[in-house]
Structure 1
Amino acid sequence: MISAAWRKRFSILRNRLYLYPAPEPMAHTRSFWLAMGLVSLAVLLFSGFFIFYLLSGHNAYLTNAEDLGIMDQAIWNTAHGHMLHQTICNILHDTNCYSQDGITRFAIHFEPILFPISLLYLIWPDPGTLIVLQTLVVAAGAYPAFWLARLRLRNEWAGVVIALVYLLYPAQQQATVYDFHAVTFTASLLLFALYFMYTRKTVWLFVFAILAMACKEEIPLVVTMFGLWSMVFQRRWRSGLGLVFLGLIWFLIAYFLIPRYFSPTGHPLLVGRYSDVGLGKGPVQMVVNIISHPKAFWDEYVWQPDRQAYLHILFSPGGYIPPLKFLKWWPPIYLVLFAPWILVLALPTLAANMLSSYEQMYSGLFQYNAEIVPVLIFSCIEAIVLILWLVQMLFAWLNSRQAHKIQSEVSHVEEHTLPLIQRNARWVHTFLLAALAILVLFSAVRADYTFHGNMPFSKGFQWPEATPHTALAEHFIAMIPADASVSAQSKLVPHLSHRTSVYLFPYGDGLAKHSGSIKTENFKADYIFLDVTGDVYPFYGSPDYIYEVKSVLLSGNYGIVAAQDGYLLLKQGLNPPSTSQYSTVQPGAGVDTMQVLPNLPENFCSNIYTSPDKVPDPHMQVSFSAPEGKNIDLLGFSVGAPDTFSHSGGYMSVATYWRISAPITSALQVLFIMEGSDGREYFASTDVPSLLWCQTNMWQPDKVIRLESRVFGLQRSHVPNGLAHISVALLPMAQPSSKIMDIHARLPLHVVNVPGTVSPTDGTNALQLKSMTLVP
């Protein structure tokens, strides 16, 4: 039996936890309708901007096989009687490829909301449908953000600010702009659920909870947390228990029963992302691993710098005050951390992201944080409520002390003699609320500006525009029969995904592949469609990609249907290409396949030529002397790197402009070098893909050639911090990698006229292009 004392203590604790009784309604005054009008205007602007921005990106071939291509194919197949069937997968680094026949979407994620979405394809069967729908659903989340903030802060204008913060929140925008994912809907749906939970509208709470759970298999755990929270802080036992049971049953079905039926392995195909913490052996084993090694767990998954940076990316837009330089002991302040009883609602998703070995899940980018945003918005609101309450308590304490002092001195207190603090409390409250709202809004805008922002004011923002090169892709796509199977590059797949069999290159290219421990069947798609100038994902770099493409061309399995401007359309069964007369090596044992040049149509290299007016500095004159005595002129360059460059996270690219006055017989490569503050040279990159397809001995005289490097960093170069210089040199294509930094192999150069910031490096046959300060 529990003693009376313990029952009393439990009753006191329960009363203290009862923080969220039924809210007092607020009248729909003129201010309310004006505020609603402002929120609606913000929703319309957000929707219009992102719909046009994202559709423009899709038309400019900036969307991806993973995941717009996957989702479009699965939904299109559903509308055509093949339930959520997909064949697109990453054969190189993921665990979701098993056969050319593909899998059902439920083998990867449980997203039943895709069924009603597929009905839209009966009206508008296009990837643009998904982009428009996703944007509209996410934008609608501004309304519950406004309603919830208005009730909690008792102020319409503060509610408008919170609605704007939701629309500006980087984690939400990153999910919105990255292709299409059902889970992105939860940024809005869970906010509706939170609002209806707070206002105790049970039917609508369950409606939106079910809609949210239908978006992904981990959302039921979030809904379960909602139910527990409602039981503890609202004393809503029946509805809270209903959410808990509904969430747990849904999760068990989604995680254990559905994969057993649909997955070829009997478990979700992406569970391998958690093999490091033992999830592959079951959730119980994972918990045991964490409990038995708490320090290792903390160091690896919480205190690790990448995870710390991830938490900063999530929390800072909700109100952030950085450390003060003149007060070294002053820590950074995150407003959302003031409401830990709200942040706990996001624990399932935070754990899923931070425990993953898949870096994208804790990068702050992509769709993985959509369901965290509603909790962060609620945390931000409650943090402001807490601060205002604390200040109110402080005023009440000061008022009582001052009133007691006055009453002890006089027998009667007139109204005008009340403490000044009490008479000014309302003004202080209003000022503090406005200051906190401005802080939160400024933090969101600052984060949008600095962290991969997608707003017009964001650093590096560019409106996506279709080019003549991307327009040419439609000409190639028209050559592919609608019922043919195709293996294509990532950016091309979403424009080919309305077919039963479409694959992400190199899957289906006829060469042996492995996916984890599973050896897939060595099969060949009917067509292969590539853009050697485009994104090479899932390859980590262009050398591996070029090796794969040239291996396919030399395998004898495919012939060329068409080739132009960097595009290659191959068909199984046609005569394969021979080796080009310009190739410096012939295919064979011990030969580097990347240096073999297949015989491709002359138009294939049309992408390297540009007009003279595109050269950044038309007055620059620098000549490199080829081995046969002819000159190669460097006409200009542009270095895509900031003046202060980070060793750990910085990346750069360099575009150079060249011209020859007469044909040359040498095949050359471009070498980029970093000269460090210690005066030594360090290798930077030779990754200029065009030179492995359009060699210098193929260049047409008197035309301007533009060569652009792949982006590269200095993470492994060991260049010391301080002032450094990026330089360019030319050397033979056949130079072995072990001697790539050999000064004597470089072509000598002669400088006639260069900008003041450019100079030759004495005795190195290299031209210094840009100076920068290297930092950790």
Structure 2
Amino acid sequence: MSKEIWHKRFIYARDHLCLYPAPEPLPRTRKFWLVMGLIALAVLVFCVFYISYLTTQQTAFQTNAEDFGIMDQAIWNTIHGHMLHQTICTSLGDTNCVGPAGFVRFAIHFEPILFPISLLYFIWSDPRVLLVLQTVVVALGAFPAFWLARLRLRNEWLAGVFALIYLIYPAQLQASTDEFHAVTMTAALLLFTLYFMYTRQTLWFFVFALLSMACKEEIPIVVATFGLWSLVFQRRWRSGLAVVVVSILWFVVTTKVIMPHFSPTGQALLSTRYNGAGGSGSLLQQALHPLTFLHTYLFDASHRAYIHDILAPAGYIPKPHGGGLFYLPLLAPWILVMATPSLLINLLSTNPQQYSGLFHYNAEIVPVIIFATIESLVVVRWLTHVGLAAITRHREAQNRPFAHLLSAEGLLRRPQVVSLVLISLLTLAVVFSSLRTDYYFHGQLPFSISFQWPQTSAHTDLAQRFLAMIPADASVSAQNKLVPHLSHRESIYMFPYADGQNSQKEGQAEYILLDVTGDIYPYFESQLYTHEVKKVLASGQYGIVAAQDGYLLLKRGLAAPAILSSPTTSAGQQHDLDALLFNLPTSFCSNIYVPQSEIQNPLHVDFKQPDGQKLHLVGFQVGASSPFSRTNGYGTLTTYWRVDSSVKTPIQLQILLKGSDGREYLTSTDMPDLSWCPAQTWQPGSLVRLTSRTFNLQKSSIPNGLAQMSITLLPQAQTSSTIMDVQARLPVQVLNAPVTVIANQNTNALQLMPITIVN
């Protein structure tokens, strides 16, 4: 057989094996521009809403040191001569707290896109510019989602719905509202990459591939899978292979040369996340035991829940008795496979946040899911046509009565109509599924259960006064929520790092700024946080510059505050730090005093102290919904007290839940105001507000069903082992209260309201 014949057969086979030839263009009709206009309007609404939401979070002190403060400091330092230098870390748990001098960010993540982003600081030197940029870039991803869906589905209206699906997709919204991360922008950049890859626009394919890879060190592996896909399914040998080679070289140079070079330890500082679950050896060692490996990283409940949380919004058919029957994107596994690198990076990490379905870790997965969902509808359309054609042939072959009616005029002869109706219904189902997930699962849409618009207050406004007292070139150790407002400096730390209570005195901060009423991260227990603050005050190294409304500004070298009371341990040799009472300015506790008009749910209940004095509860407010979820429900309790005379005995307040089984369950004793402004310091003739820290029931064994939220008062000296001693509680008497507020004389517990506990 001649070479020409073989060559012709090869060309024929090649053409017929090409699954994704160059797409046939569609005319830009009036319908196209109408849908484009609607998408542009949706993008504008998205930008206005989320820019307002995120920048208000910053104004309301609801952003965090990790990672917003980190990103801001690294970018600000770059334009001030210190390339991507950062000093912020969590000294209680991070592996990157290698020293107070800090390090170049490339030791953690390789994000060269931050260099051009830093130029924005010459226009507006404010961390909010990062939130604006990220929101706009992410929103623009709606356009390639529309263009790609239009070419595949050949329908402008269905394609326009996919632009909406992208904008409301839960994983995208989780990433977009998780402050600022360069990798979040890949939600849009990779969608542009996929679109230009599919339409064979090589130059723009490379441009957006490079922009995507510049966002994080792992993205080159994602882009490499795009190149492999193009090579296999589009037969674009040169461009596909070039993308693969460039991506792999980028990844190797980044992880083996650049990041180790900038790391103080010689390896990427976050690489310990992949040393094996629970420190049980390397991933390679665990992979030698495949069953254990699969159970650990794929089949256990948390990892399976992660897969569900990522895929379910794109279309999920549940089984009648629980569990999942099918995820729509699985109809296009040859598309979904491009998400494998990102999924593995998250599933194999020892950091549970990466497989929680929350935060920014899934931004690069969203474009692949959008493409896979579009392609699944293409598969459904093809299957519909094939199925109807087969049914038609079968009926005609059987020569059944009335078959000619079905064949000539029935739906069997109009597969386009049937398939259009079917994929339209499936598209609407994806919209519904995304909205449903947004509603229930930590959603970031205005109607979501957990969504709250950030609020400023007189307390947050006061923070600006304390920030202004700190010199611009001073080193500062500040509380989590305060760091992003102080991060325009070379040395900024998250308390307790650099507070002088360690061996690295050269890294001691000049100033310490705290808000004892605010978020105490990286601590999760108030007792540990309070202990560390009191340790700083007792060290004699810092004195008070200003104190008001729970804010405390300390400066190294000033005279330390005097200790008013100094209980000792049982050995009588050293101070019991937790019981120390310092001579702080009276303005420090100004936050607990409120006017009569602020009291919620007024009542009159007396608690009798051992010396005969009474504490008067005059109002309360429960910040928890009913039903209350034990898995993701959070609540607070605020109580209001009238002070007639000086209180001599320190007290503590318990929040209890009496379960449907009749037992009492301790919910919280975490009242930060009592740690710093104990009852014996309350001013006679005042009204005092006490608010608990947020509590949950994740570690509680309380049964589902109706429970009663109650409070008790008892002496502060009561230990944790005897804290549930009923005899130690102060007697309670209800003088005037709603019918739901009842005093149990047998347990001295005051029932405030019923609440239903659910899973």
TM value normalised by structure 2: 0.94
Whether the 8 Å contact between 1:509 and 1:528 is mirrored in structure 2 is yes
Change in Cα spacing, 1:700 to 1:198, as seen in structure 2 (3 Å) is: same
Deviations 1:691-742 (A, max 9, x none): 0001011112333222111222333333334332221000111111111111
**Deviation (angstroms), 1:539:** 1.1
Cα separation, partners in 2 of 1:414 and 1:506, compared to 1, 3 Å:
closer
The alpha carbon displacement at 1:685 in A equals 1.5
Q: Specify whether residues 696 and 287 from structure 1 end up closer, same or farther in structure 2 by C-alpha distance, changes over 3 A only.
A: same
Number of the residue aligned with 1:236: 236
| Number of the residue aligned with 1:462 | 452
Q: Distance in 2 between matches of 1:385 and 1:534?
A: 51
User: What's the offset of the Cα at 1:223?
Assistant: 0.6
SS in 2 for 1:269: coil
1:268 Cα shift?
Answer: 0.7
Aligned residues of 1:657 and 1:705 also touching (Cα < 8 A) = yes
Which of 270, 290, 309 is the equivalent residue of 1:294?
Answer: 290
Q: Percent identity?
A: 55
The answer on 1:319 being equivalent to 2:315 is: yes
Shift of 1:485: 0.4
Where does the alignment leave 5 or more consecutive residues of structure 1 unmatched? Answer: 1-6, 514-519
CA contact (8 A) 1:399 1:421 kept: no
Range moving further from structure 2, 746-755 or 636-645: 636-645
Equivalent position amino acid for 1:455 in 2: L
Q: Are residues 1:209 and 2:199 paired? A: no
Give the secondary structure class of the aligned counterpart of 1:549. Answer: helix
Give the AA of the match of 1:674: L
Rounded to whole Å, the distance in 2 between the matches of 1:234 and 1:318 is 25
Structure 1 position 712 matched with structure 2 position 695: yes
- The separation in 1 between residues aligned to 2:152 and 2:140, in whole angstroms, is 20
Q: Which residue of 1 aligns with 2:3?
A: none
Separation in structure 1 between the aligned mates of residue 608 and residue 407 of structure 2, nearest angstrom = 93
Offset of residue 198 of structure 1: 0.8
1:155-166 equivalences in 2 (<5 Å):
155-166=155-166
Matched, 1:435 2:425: yes
* Amino acid in the other structure paired with 1:184: T
Contact persistence 2:621–2:637 (CA under 8 A): yes
Q: Which structure 2 residues correspond to residues 244-643 of structure 1 after superposition, within 5 A?
A: 244-276=244-276, 286-290=283-287, 292-324=288-320, 328=321, 331-404=324-397, 418-512=408-502, 523-580=507-564, 589=573, 591-618=575-602, 620-643=603-626
Higher mean alpha-carbon deviation, 597-606 vs 698-707, is at 698-707
The amino acid that maps onto 2:479 is Q
**Alignment RMSD:** 2.6
SS in 2 for 1:58: helix
Please say if residues 271 and 279 of structure 1, whose CA atoms lie closer than 8 Å, have aligned partners that are also in contact: no
Q: Which moved more, 1:387-396 or 1:545-554?
A: 387-396
1:516 is aligned to none
Specify the alignment match of 1:32 in structure 2: 32
Cα distance, 1:321 vs structure 2: 3.1
Contact kept? 1:274, 1:280, Cα under 8 Å: no
Q: 1:302 to 1:521 in 2, by over 3 A?
A: farther
Contact 2:396–2:404 (CA under 8 A) maintained in structure 1: no
Distance 1:702 1:434, change over 3 A: farther
Matched, 1:651 2:634: yes
Equivalent residues of 1:100, 1:521 under 8 A apart: no
| Distance 1:660-1:32 versus aligned 2 partners, 3 A rule | same
Q: CA deviation at 1:53?
A: 1.1
Report the alpha carbon displacement of residue 227 of structure 1 after superposing the two structures with TM: 1.1
Q: Any stretches of 5+ residues in structure 2 without a counterpart?
A: 1-6
Contact 1:511–1:523 (CA under 8 A) maintained in structure 2: no
Q: Show CA shifts across 1:234-278 (max 9, x none).
A: 122211111111111111011111122100111110111122259
Contact 2:392 2:407 in 1 (8 A): no
- Structure 2: distance between partners of 1:259 and 1:268: 6
Structure 1 distance, partners of 2:474, 2:393, is 82
**Deviation, structure 1 residue 333:** 3.1
2:620 is matched by which residue type in structure 1? Answer: F
How far apart in 1 are the matches of 2:340 and 2:724? 50
**Aligned position for 2:92:** 92
1:558 Cα deviation from its structure 2 partner: 0.2
Structure 2 CA distance, aligned partners of 1:280 and 1:250? Answer: 30
Inter-partner Cα distance in structure 2 for 1:756 and 1:80: 64
- Rounded Cα–Cα distance in structure 2 between residues aligned with 1:16 and 1:578: 86
Contact 2:474 2:491 in 1 (8 A): yes
Q: Is 1:750 paired with 2:733?
A: yes
Bigger Cα displacement from structure 2, 16-25 vs 442-451: 16-25
* Pick aligned residue for 1:667 from 640, 646, 650: 650
SS at match of 1:692: helix
Aligned residue for 2:231, secondary structure, equals helix
* Alpha-carbon separation, structure 1, partners of 2:540 and 2:628: 45
Provide Cα deviations, 1:598-643, integer angstroms capped at 9, x if missing partner: 111101111112232322212x111111222121111222223333
Cα distance change, pair 529–264 in 1 and its aligned pair in 2 (3 A): same
CA distance in 1: counterparts of 2:364 and 2:322, whole angstroms? 34
Deviates more, 1:245-254 or 1:388-397: 388-397
Contact map agreement 1:650 1:714 (CA 8 A) in 2: yes
The answer as to whether partners of 2:316 and 2:324 remain within 8 angstroms in 1 is: no
State the secondary structure of the residue aligned to 1:463: coil
Check 1:659–1:323 CA distance in 2 against 1; reply closer, same or farther (3 A cut): farther
Q: Is the 8 A contact 2:152 2:378 kept in 1?
A: yes
